Chain A
Amino acid sequence: MNFMPALPLIFLFGSTCAILLIGLYVGERRTSVVYVLSQVALITTVALVIRDAQAAPIVALHGMFVRDRLADLLDIAICLLVVAVFVYSRRYLSDRDMYRTEYFVLALFGVVGMMVINSAAHFLSLYLGLELMALSLYAMVAFQRDSARATEAAMKYFVLGALASGMLLYGMSMLYGVTGSLSIAKVASTISAMPPGNIVLVFGLVFVIVGLLFKIGAVPFHMWIPDVYDGAPTVVTLYIGTAPKVAALALILRLLVGGLQALSPSWREMLVIAAFLSMGVGNVVAISQTNLKRMLAYSAIAHMGFALLGLAAGGREGYADALFYLLIYSVMSLGAFGLVALLSGPGREIEYIDDLKGLSQRNPWIAFLMLLLMFAMAGVPPTAGFYAKLAVIQAAVDAHLIWLAVAAVLFSVVGAYYYLRVVKVMYFDAPEDDRPFVLPLDGKFLFGLNGLSMLLLTPWIGTIIAFCHSAIQGLP
């Protein structure tokens, strides 16, 4: 059996277990050791992925695991996102007595789960990777045990997540009943050889789609997103709002594009509806939010709608555009939630949009970076967010979904309102409390990079899109 393709995954898993043990021995006072080791593990994993990046897909571990461009790209993205999440969350955690080994270990296990999803070639590994990720997330949401809101959010997340998993599993079992195989490649070839209109397949597909939409939080299965984003500790929201989104896209690409391509006319229709509703509900409801985390949660729903737009457009172009959109979104989301985590000092929680009042006077540099991020989220040119929106809308137009493209443009105009409101609050409202924001140096530096990347990436947008295209080429 050839383990080498899975080396980064195995390395990360092994080092997570080691970190768990080390954390036990260094004790609660020196969690910084655990922090440093986690970062080293993640960065080494990225290095390992890059070291033998594959052009051609390799299937290993008895057809359960596939290593291709897509997996490599997503692995790197997820690891780097989590590195940034750790940097942003370090001080928040230590201020709140949450700076414990378990936080890092659970987050790392979540990454392992996401990497399993990224390179899943079998329903079993796909599902188990999803569960590994989800279980880590549930625990992280409940991490602040004394907070009733966090516990409630974790319960909601857990129950709905379990329901979604059940749906997904039910759908997969139907697909298995029809095709007699759990291997994604085999399922794809069996289905494409079958006459169309098999009712069991359609039922299976519906269940799978429902499960997937639940997991990515698209309307009409989005109810949990605002509560979980709002109730969870901010650093956990930061984690949930970035890396798992990328993994969720991997889930869809592997399952729908890789396995059920033959049914794409059916699932594209469903995704069109979900995309339209997500963009609509997300953007419209976000307007009335005063809570910053809730607003960002609804914005996450809307952004998922845009990513679905690319998928619904279909074709390799569409998938690549969706991938590109999601990568850009995860960086924006990282910045936005990262700021909330960074600004929340000891005894101060940034919760409402009004908490940002007068940020430009108190810390003009940070305010400017946040302005960039908000512009990018709204899709204002020349930020990277604009190109991302442009790409998916272009894909929709190319797929003759003109009405959906028009709707997307309209909804992004609606969305611009609440993003710009944050900018208005930061720049034109007088500050209510004069305590200065003291940011840790590493977080400040990374946030600078994060914010500026929205502008600095612009010359290389074409390269990134090309990279996404080459990643998608690996899919069957």
Chain B
Amino acid sequence: MIAAWFSLWGSLPGWSRILLLNLSKIVAITIPLMLSVAYLTFAERKIIGYMQARIGPNRVGPAGWLQPIADALKLLMKEIIIPTGANKALFVIAPVLSIAPALVAWAVIPFTNHLVLANVNAGLLFAMAITSMGVYGVVIAGWASNSKYAFLGSLRSAAQIVAYEIAMGFALVGVVMASGTLNLRHIVLHQQGTGFWDWYFLPLFPLFLVYFISGVAETNRLPFDVAEGESEIVAGFHVEYSGMAFAVFFLAEYANMILVSALTTVLFLGGWLPPVAVIPFTWVPPLAWFLIKVSTMLFFFIWFRATFPRYRYDQIMRLGWKVLIPITLVWIGVIGTVRFFTPWGYLFH
């Protein structure tokens, strides 16, 4: 049986073998990702539940473990309503535009030293460029819905994303200055040393904070969720969406959260590296370290949501333009000066 499969594989032309191999790799990344999204929603409800002295979902399956599956099934069954006066083509294409960048960016994320779909040289830039396109889904959804709330939400969200992208980009400049490369794998390898004190989050601490805060804002998560702001504009840009179309937006939001966490891990927290390079820690497989770090960052996302009240819109803009961007600029100057003009340059290496 297996021999038959191998002979079939061997008989395929070269290009199709590459195609199939890559496709299977993509599927191997996407399916676990989708599953983690599903269980991230579950984790969120549970964690917030405990933080608010509730137990959260506990009816479907043992201790509620089948809840996300049930949710997905329910959303699949629902009707997708296209509002009258909506621009049909754009209305349908918006969720796709929203989730595609969230998935494509995973192509360059190194899970371990060898486990990466595309080890490209400009990986960091690629990830930034791709994530910057996520805003189109939101903008188009808001406009195509032909609804005031949706439109307001999409405008808010687009302005917010564009503003915070600048702070995010500047924070990444610091990482690139420290590591001297745009290749995500090499960035992690540059943080290799004896332990967590070699990771970039310590020398680049302000940038780490700015990056993560911008990441929270980019994903429209609390406390920066004015784009959805239930109490003001109902649900913002996706208010007119229902059923699977809504679910895709939902998936995109959570996939983006995981992506931001993964990027934070790779850029500042040493990716797959163990916190201390001594015996018991090095036994743990690298992939596990990566996943642990990503989960920790995700926990912060959820923790923020349970803790902070929503920012007002002008406060968000002020924070982005007048606080975060100046901080990153100053720190980039500090890195450059210290590295090239003082004897303490090794700090940023």
A contacts B: CB pair < 8 Å: no
Contacts from A to B (Cβ < 8 Å):
none
